[in-house]
Amino acid sequence: MKVLVFSIGPDRYALRLGAIVRVLPVLALKQVPLAPAFVAGLMDLQGEPVPVIDLSLLAG
pLDDT tens across 24-58, in order? 887 899 999 999 999 999 999 999 999 999 988 87
Contact 27, 41 (CB under 8 A): no
* Mean pLDDT for the stretch of residues 11-26: 92
Q: How far apart are the first and last CA of the chain?
A: 28
- pTM of the shown model: 0.72
42-49 — which CB contacts under 8 Å span 24+ positions? none
**Domain spans of the chain?**
24-60
Tell me the β-bridge partners of 45.
Answer: 48
